[in-house]
Amino acid sequence: MATIEDRLAVLEARLQAAEDQLAIIRLIASYAPAVDSGANHAAAALWVEDGVYDVGGLTRAVGRDGIAARIDLNQDLAARDRGYGHLLTTPRITLQGDAAEAVNYSFAFTRKERDDRWELDRASANHWRLARTPEGWRVVERFNRLMDGAPISRETVGRGVGP
């Protein structure tokens, strides 16, 4: 028969795991609003200080300043269009104590000056490594690859899938 102490300890550990998942869902759901509102430094603050954003194999931004600069570039590109929006899907999260990993997709839509129509410009796979810090969960590395059928894309989205 479990004692009250045992039951409290189990509840505290289980609740921590539920809270961790909700915090990571919220962290990743914060990226698109930060970027699309032009708050590139707020977006970069989702990472740990020396975090990494590996963007499509083209850029490997390191540190919050580097990540904010990389996001600025995206903003400039988006500004050429008449509309834009990022869509990030709910991550599949795997907790490992004070670390975690997550996999999701990101989609970038823009509205073209050509014909006023919205188009999907990029569909990407993302593998996120995360860490619990004194300020809460933060991104250690976001590894992003276009879903272009290349082996690395399949491998990225498939990380952690399976038994």
Nearer to a second copy, 42 or 140 (CB): 42
We find the least distance from the C-beta atom of residue 117 to a second copy, in angstroms, to be 6
Nearer to a second copy, 4 or 97 (CB): 4
Q: Which residues bind a second copy (CB under 8 A)?
A: 4-5, 7-8, 11-12, 14-15, 17-19, 21-22, 25-26, 29-30, 32-34, 36-39, 42, 45, 78-79, 81-93, 103-105, 107, 109, 111, 117-123, 125, 146-149, 154-155, 157-158, 160-163
We find the least distance from the C-beta atom of residue 58 to a second copy, in angstroms, to be 16
Q: How many CA atoms lie within 13 A of 117 on its CB side?
A: 5
Q: Are 95 and 17 in contact (CB under 8 A)?
A: yes
Count of Cβ atoms closer than 10 Å to residue 162 Cβ: 5
Separation CA 80–CA 77 (nearest Å): 6
We find the least distance from the C-beta atom of residue 138 to a second copy, in angstroms, to be 14
Q: In Å, how far are 2, 30, 72 from 36, measured between CA atoms? A: 50, 10, 10
Cα angle value 52/161/155 (rounded, 5°): 55
Nearer to a second copy, 6 or 50 (CB): 6
We find the least distance from the C-beta atom of residue 143 to a second copy, in angstroms, to be 13
Count of Cβ atoms closer than 10 Å to residue 103 Cβ: 20
